[in-house]
Amino acid sequence: MEKIILFLTVLCCALSSCTKDKTDYEAEIDTIVPERTEFKEVTNFKSGTYTLRLEALGGQLYKGYNQIRLKIESPAQNSPSVATLLPILTDSQGKASSCPHRYDLLYKVDEGYFEGYIVFTEESQTTALWDLHIGFTVAQQQYNSKQRVQVNTQDNKNLNMNSFIGNDGEQYFIALIAPQKPKVAENNLTAGIYKHNKPTVPVSGNPVEPSQFSYSQVEGYTLQLDPRMPEPSMGNHSSPNNKDLVQGADKLYHGVVNYTMTGNWTLNFILLNHQGRILKGTVVPNDFTPGVEGIKSELHIDILF
């Protein structure tokens, strides 16, 4: 009987804490979780007689996945045939590095702009500065420009990212793309998965050589998903009807995550290559552990909504 009373006491405390936390998280969501749906200008600059305008959702660049648009305007109405983009991070010692990005931008004829993405791995700091190296061709003439940009701290935890070394020795990146603002429901979950392509020659002092800073979207992988609420009051419980992420026609990875309540969630992952080999991630125990912080996969991303 004493054991039953003790169990009921612990359970009531957990449920009370759950209700309180849920209310607090709902209040926090209303103030800190943005949803950006409109493209706005980030910066504009000149290259010869051409004006280049870079746009992103909300008009800002953030750590994580950024969909970008590049408009190239000319008084003579000459249209560029191709455009390339290479983001370069320079540290305080002058060392150059990059991040996952689309180098050859895709031209949208009807809309009149080039489209691509950048997955910034760090925020801008006084010791870490980001520059965009942009090239384009008009009538067989090549133009090249460099523009410094500000990369902000990601203020939406639903768009967090992770980078890691896989069991194959390669460097991978997982960036959450959607939903920006989840609901208490089954949500379509979208992520980009990228790999650093190791240069075949040593990195030189010329940071605009694209072959030294190459990344690719991984093909045919599976990202197994196990969402949990790791807060001690939540007992690391999961939810039903989740679906692993698999690659779609757009090269991004799509699945379903079922959030049964608002609060702190951890997306626990296991990344499998096209042969089914585990590249990173561990199974999370199914134990319900009220009062104890939940165990996480070695590959995970924390979110909050």
CATH of the domain at 60: 2.60.40.10
**pLDDT tops 70 at residue 2:** no
pLDDT class of 108 with cuts at 50, 70, 90:
very high
Q: In the listed set 112, 136, 152, which residue is the last one of a domain according to the structure? A: 152
Do 27 and 47 fall within a single domain? no
Top-confidence residue, 15 or 298:
298
Do 200 and 287 fall within a single domain? yes
Q: What is the DSSP letter of 271?
A: E
Q: CA angle 124-127-132, nearest 5°?
A: 45
Beta bridge partners of 223: 245, 271
Model pLDDT, residue 32: 60
pLDDT class of 79 with cuts at 50, 70, 90:
confident
d(CA 99, CA 90): 12
Model pLDDT, residue 204: 62
Q: In the listed set 129, 152, 175, which residue is the last one of a domain according to the structure? A: 152
**pLDDT tens sequence across 134-183:** 999 998 899 999 999 999 999 999 999 999 999 999 999 999 999 999 99
Model pLDDT, residue 305: 84
Do 172 and 256 fall within a single domain? yes
265: its two tokens: 């969630």
Do the domain assignments include residue 70? yes
What is the rounded average pLDDT for all residues in the chain? 89
Do 120 and 188 fall within a single domain? no
Model pLDDT, residue 207: 55
Do 164 and 244 fall within a single domain? yes
What is the pTM (predicted TM-score) of this model? 0.88
Question: For 73-89, what is the mean pLDDT?
Answer: 90
Question: For 118-125, what is the mean pLDDT?
Answer: 98
Going by C-alpha positions, the residue among 213, 265, 262, 216 that lies closest to residue 236 is 265
User: The domain containing residue 241 runs over which residues?
Assistant: 14-34+156-304
d(CA 46, CA 185): 47
134: its two tokens: 């942009």
Collapsed DSSP state (helix, strand, coil) of residue 28: helix
**pLDDT tens sequence across 3-55:** 444 444 444 444 444 433 443 434 444 546 788 999 999 999 999 999 999 99
Cα–Cα separations (whole angstroms), residue 117 to 34, 91, 97, 124, 262: 20, 22, 17, 18, 30
Model pLDDT, residue 242: 98
- Dihedral through CA 74, CA 79, CA 84, CA 88, nearest 10? 10
Do 30 and 46 fall within a single domain? no
d(CA 50, CA 76): 9
Top-confidence residue, 201 or 35:
35
**What is the radius of gyration, based on Cα positions, of the chain?**
22
Do the domain assignments include residue 4? no
Model pLDDT, residue 205: 58
Do 185 and 121 fall within a single domain? no
d(CA 37, CA 43): 18
The percent of residues above 70 in pLDDT, for the chain, comes to: 87
Do the domain assignments include residue 108? yes
The percent of residues above 90 in pLDDT, for the chain, comes to: 79
d(CA 54, CA 68): 7
**pLDDT tops 80 at residue 269:** yes
Count up the domains in the chain and report the number: 2
